[in-house]
Amino acid sequence: MTQNKRSIKLFDPALVGTAIGQSFTKLNPRLMIKNPVMFTVEIGTIIMLVVSLYQLFTGDNSQGALWYNITIFFILLLTVLFANFAEALAEARGKAQAESLRKTREDTPAKKINAGTSGMNDYKTVASSLLRKGDFFICEPGDIIPMDGEIVEGIATIDESAITGESAPVIRESGGDKSSVTGGTKVLSDRIKVKVTTEPGESFLDKMIALVEGASRQKTPNEIALTILLAAFTLIFIIVCVTLKPFADYANTPITIAAFISLFVCLIPTTIGGLLSAIGIAGMDRALRANVIAKSGKAVETAGDIDVLLLDKTGTITIGNRKATNFYPANGIDKTAFIEACTLSSLADHTPEGKSIVELAGANAVNFNTTNAIFIDFTAETRSSGVDLADGRRIRKGAFDSIKNIVTKAGNSFPEETAERVKAISSNGGTPLVVSQNEKILGVIELQDIIKPGIQERFERLRKMGVKTVMVTGDNPLTAKFIAEKAGVDDFIAEAKPEDKMNYIRREQESGKLVAMMGDGTNDAPALAQADVGVAMNSGTAAAKEAGNMVDLDNDPTKLIEIVEIGKQLLITRGTLTTFSIANDVAKYFAIVPALFIASIPALQSLNIMGLYSPESAILAAVIFNAIIIPMLIPLALKGVAYKPIGASALLRRNLLIYGVGGVIVPFIGIKLIDMLLGLFM
C-alpha cells in the first residue's frame, strides 16, 4: 500500500501553530463549561488574576507576595492553555485531513443522461451540484465520478486513491456487491452508467469531511459517564477546600487564596480532565488512519467491548473467489454433455464461482445457442441459478439441498453415488454444486477455496481478547465445519440466509453480548443495522453503507480485527490516563497539605516525606508539575496506550502497575526536582 496521505506528523509545525491559536480561543467560558474540571480551573485562574491586580494597585500583602500570586496565576493559565492545546491539536489533525479530502470534492462536470432515455449516448454535461438522487450519469476513461452512486450498466477500472490512499486501481461493475462508486474517484478504463444514490451535501465524501473535522463528533456514553464522574470529584474537592477554612481558623493558620486555589487545582483530576476530549478525537483519528470511517465515536468505543464477531467465510477466512476445479458427471451421463449444461447454467452467473465454471470448461465450451433463453439469477433464498432454454431444457445449478428438493419434488430420485460425491467434496473442504436438467441429476461441480495464511493466529489473538469468532457461509454444514476447524473459528453458521445472520445476532444480544459484523451486500443491510458494530465495505451497495456505522475504505474483510483493537486501545487509553491522573493526586496531597499547616501544627512535618524547601516552594512545585504533566502526556493521548491481547485481568494488573503505581511515584520525583530548582531562587 502506498503511504496514506492522511498520515500526519504528531507535532506538525503548521498544526501546532493552529492549535496554539485555538488554545486561546477556547478560553471562552461558553466553550470551557463543557469541560467541568477545566472550567473550575479557569475560574481559579480568574480569581488569582483579580487577587494579583488588587494587590498591585493597593499594595495589600495579606495574601502573600505579589510575585508569588502572579506566578500562581500564570501557572494556572498555562494549565488551562495546555488542556486546550491538547484538544485543539487533536482537532487540527482532523481538520488537516478534512482539507486534503475537500480538495477532491470539486464541482466536477457530470455527463447526465437525459430524462426519459435509457441509453448511454443521450446525455448533457452539467455541474455535479445539479445532480439529484435518482439521476443517471455516465463516466468514461479520465472522468472524475461526480457523485456517489451505483453502477447499473458496465464495468470499469477506478482509481480510488483520493479516498483510500491506495494507488492500485480497483474494478467496479454492475450487479453483485461491487457496484458502489464514490464521488471524487477517477475512472481509468471502460464506460459505466451510474445511478445517483445521494443528495448534494450528503455524499460519502461530505460525511467523511464532517466526521474528520469533528463537526459531527458527539461524546460517547463512556466519555459522558467519565465526565460526570470527574465533575463529581471536582464538586467533592470544592467542598473539601471550603470546609478547610474553618479548620485553618481553628488552628490559627492563615491560608492565602493562592494556597486554597492551588490545593483545589492540584487535587481535582486536571490531567484526565485536560486530555479527555483529545483522547476521544484521537480514537476517531486512529480509525481513519486505518482507512475506516466511523460514523460516530460510539461505534469505535463499542468495538472495544465486542464479545462476538461475525465474519463471512469468503474473502475473510478464505482467499475468496472460489474456483471450479473438477466436473463429476453422474453415472450414465456423458461428460461433454454435462460440461455443456454446466456452462449454459453459468453464462449469466456473474459471481466469481460462475465465471470460474465457464473458465474451467474452456476448450470444451463452444458457441451455445441461447436465443430466447431465460436466465435464472442466483439468490440467497433459492441458493441456485440456471437457465430455461428455448428447446425446453431447464438447467439448474446450486447447493446440494436446493437441487435435491427440486429433483425430489418432481418425483425423481437422487442418485446415491452423487450424494456420496457431494459428501466427499465437502469433507475435503470443497464446495459441491449439483447440476440438474429437467429435474434430473446430471452431476457435481467441485469448487475449492484456500484458507488465508496466518488467519489462525489472528483468531487466536481475538480469542485472547475475549472475542468469540463466528464464520458465516452459504456452504453446507459439512464443508462449513471443515473450514471452521481448519481456520480456528469458535462457531459457524452454515447455509446462511440473511435472516439467519439477524437471528444469530439477536440471540447473542439477548444474552447480553455485543456483536460486530461486516458486510457489503444489500442482503447484509438488516444484519449490519442490527449489529452493535456494523462495518460496511466501501465497494458495497449503498444500502449496506447506510446500514453500517463504519465504512472500510480498503474493502478488507479482516479489518474488523483491527477495528476491535482500535476500540480496545481507546478504552484502555482513557482508563489508564484516568488512573494516572487520580494517582497523581496522592503525591500532590503530600506536597501541599503539610505546607499549609506545618507552621502551626509541627506534627505534620512527618507528612512532609519529600522534605520540600518551604511551604511556598512546595505549593509552586505541585502546581508547576500539575501544569507540565498535561503537555507531556499529549503524545500518549493522541497515539494511544499500546494494547496487547493478554487477557483482561493481566491487562488490568499491567496498567495498574505502570500507570497506578507509576502515577504515584512520578509526581513525587517530579515535584521534588522542581522544588530543588525553585530552592535555588527563593
Where in the sequence numbering do the catalytic residues fall?
A: 312
Cα 301 to Cα 125, 284, 307, 538, 545, distances in angstroms: 44, 9, 13, 21, 19
How far apart are alpha carbons 526 and 531 in whole angstroms?
9
CB 302 within 8 A of CB 571: no
Pair 152, 119: CB distance under 8 Å:
no
Look up cell 458496465; give the residue: 154
Q: What are the phi and psi torsion angles at 351 (to 5°)?
A: -70, 155
CB atoms near residue 398 (< 10 Å) = 23
Helix/strand/coil (H/E/C) assignment for every residue in 604-629: HHHHCCCCCCCHHHHHHHHHHHHHHH
Place of cell 447447493: 399
Q: Where are the alpha helices (H) located in 347-476, listed in sequence order?
A: 352-361, 400-409, 416-427, 455-465
Rounded Cα gap, residues 438 and 619, in angstroms: 92
Quick check: 508 and 308 in contact, CB under 8 A?
A: yes
CB 611 within 8 A of CB 671: no
**Crossing angle for the helix pair 36-58 and 221-250, to the nearest 10 degrees:** 40
Phi, psi of 261, deg, nearest 5: -65, -40
567 near 548, Cβ under 8 Å? no
| 364, three cell numbers | 470444451
Please name the residues in contact with 652: beta carbons below 8 A apart, sequence gap of 6 or more.
Answer: none
What's the grid cell of residue 135?
A: 439521476
Q: Annotate 427-458 with DSSP letters as a single string.
A: HTT-EEEEEEETTEEEEEEEEE--BPTTHHHH
Q: What residues contact 273, with CB distance under 8 A and at least 6 apart?
A: 35, 36, 37, 38, 41, 83, 230, 581
Grid cell locating 436: 440438474
- Name the region of 154 (left: φ>0; alpha: ψ -120 to 50; beta: rest): left
